[in-house]
Amino acid sequence: MRVLVVQHEDGCPPARLGVWLVDAGCELDVRRPYEGEGLPGGLSSHDAMVVLGGEMGADDDAVHPWLTPTKELLREAARDAVPTLGVCLGHQLAAVALGGTVGRSARGRQIGVLEVGWTGAAATDPLVASLATPRRAIQWNEDLVLDPPPGAVLLAATALGEIQAMRFAPTVWGVQWHPEATLEMIKSWAANEPGPRADAGLIAVREAEAELELSWRDLGKAFAAT
């Protein structure tokens, strides 16, 4: 499986997810459009796609112009049944590309290691069924998917109903959390926004590092099998 990986900034690489995908037999084609690397005009040369996170907003196309062709690729993936996973910003881009809306969380930034609130639909989902047991994940975000696109299936949500994961189309998934993040990545994120909340988030990730690796390492295998 040749996987197109869209990376939006240096601080959000594929990291652990990339390792898991390679271990599952995938070949990664990582594109960094913020460094001037072009995105393909379509997905005919790729078997799957991963769209990673970043600090920008899902509607910031005017400032980050590669977001527009990224959304076009997401629409193509949905139309042509190309397996696709969006992570944090990538999750939000998929929602916007397919007709949903994204905006600020009413409760402000979510930072730390939080419970994943799986729904009943997750138990039979082609990607996350094997993962849909009690587990925690890294949340580091301010924006959320507020209105899902038509036909999307909710796979996980907080106790207050905030969307954590969705299947946007039969082969397009998004997760608001960061399964890929390493402790070193979180250190750099915390350094960019010093304060008690980021400090507490970093401590939580450090204490849960082994748990998080065990919880999400099968995600690469599950994605490669879709």
Out of 178, 184, 207, 211, which one is annotated catalytic?
Answer: 178
Helix (H) or strand (E) holding 147: strand 143-147
β partners of residue 172: 84, 169
Active site residue 12: no
Rg (CA), the chain: 16
Q: What is the Cα–Cα distance from 149 to 168, expressed in whole angstroms?
A: 7
Sorted by sequence, the CB contacts under 8 Å of residue 212 that are 6+ apart come out as 113, 136, 137, 138, 179, 205
Out of 180, 209, 211, 213, which one is annotated catalytic?
Answer: 180
Residue the block writes with tokens 């507020």 = 146
Active site residue 46: no
Out of 8, 26, 88, 91, which one is annotated catalytic?
Answer: 88
| Residues belonging to the active site | 88, 178, 180
